[in-house]
Amino acid sequence: MEPLRFNDFQVRLAAAPGEIEAAQALRYRVFYEEMSATPSPEVKERRRDFDAFDAFCDHLLVIDLEKSNGEPKVVGTYRLLRRSVALRHGGFYTSQEYDLSALMAFPGEIVELGRSCVDPDYRSRGVMQILWRGLAAYVREYDIHLMFGCASFPGTEPHHMERQLAYLHHYHLAPQPLRPRALAHHYVGMDLVPQSGIDVQSALSGLPPLIKGYLRVGGFVGDGAVVDHQFNTTDVCVIVKTDQLTSKYERRYRNQTAEPLRG
């Protein structure tokens, strides 16, 4: 895909190993230093968030051109894994938490979204919106029909977010043909509060920004949440048909403030 420029920012795919390392360093600062994930000894020593999936994923970057001096100043990132690539490399990251059989039966190209984050100094400067514009360009470039991935609540106590989880279960559960299910040994039921006991506006306002963003473009969630103790999060699987990414996108996201997010 061609790079896109928005004032002093550029969004494009990483083109060199050093650019992927810059994205991994940003992920480390956000996930481990800010959000209190638990690093392995090697991750801690190298001060980069990395795993085996990084080698064959695409890495979408937002770069501050003004602050780049020889090396790109990466201020936002998304990790993207297309099915056509995943099938050659052992599958999707999300399959560690969810049964993806329903999604694997979906016709056409699909893409897994993950490791989304924005530098703390740039969360009032629209970087998350620029990432989403880059994502829309990526979807067009590769003719992607469906996006999915884990999106997270901070914390590992589902009862602390029971109304938000129940709201997602009652109002945004994916249709059966598109519904991933948390693996049995990870499964946490989301039907924690009866539908009649949910204040919809309160529950919606309490959702993490990334999850709200997916819902605004017609997103659904899978069956069951998963507690991720390493990353200090409770995850849900989000599914978005890309035909929801219309020209309305920019109007929907133009005035929103980006916040620290992990997918």
pLDDT at 263: 46
pLDDT digits (tens, 9 = 90+) for 71-130: 899 999 999 999 999 999 999 999 999 999 999 999 999 999 999 999 999 998 789 989
Whether this prediction's pTM lies above 0.95 is answered by no
The residue segments making up the domain with residue 158 are 4-253
Q: Are 152 and 231 in contact (CB under 8 A)?
A: yes
Residue 27 lies in a domain: yes
pLDDT at 41: 97
Q: Which residue has the tokens 């017609």?
A: 218
pLDDT above 90 (res 245): no
SS3 239: strand
Residue 21 lies in a domain: yes
Supply 212's token pair.
Answer: 């709200």
Residue 97 lies in a domain: yes
Q: Which residues pair with 252 in a beta bridge?
A: none
For position 233, which CATH number holds? 3.40.630.30
Residue 261 lies in a domain: no
pLDDT at 252: 47
User: Each residue of 157-170: b (16+ CB within 10 Å) or e?
Assistant: ebeebbbbbbbbbb
Q: Is the dihedral of CA 220, 210, 90, 60 positive or negative?
A: positive
pLDDT above 90 (res 14): yes
Residue 82 lies in a domain: yes
Residue 13 lies in a domain: yes
Structural domain total, the chain: 1
pLDDT at 80: 98
Residue 212 lies in a domain: yes
Alpha-carbon span 165 to 149, nearest angstrom: 16
Identify which of 28, 22, 27, 9 has the alpha carbon closest to the alpha carbon of residue 125: 9
Q: Are 4 and 10 in contact (CB under 8 A)?
A: yes
Residues with Cβ within 8 Å of 70's Cβ and at least 6 positions away in sequence, in order, are: none
pLDDT at 124: 81
DSSP conformational letter for 247: T
Residue 263 lies in a domain: no
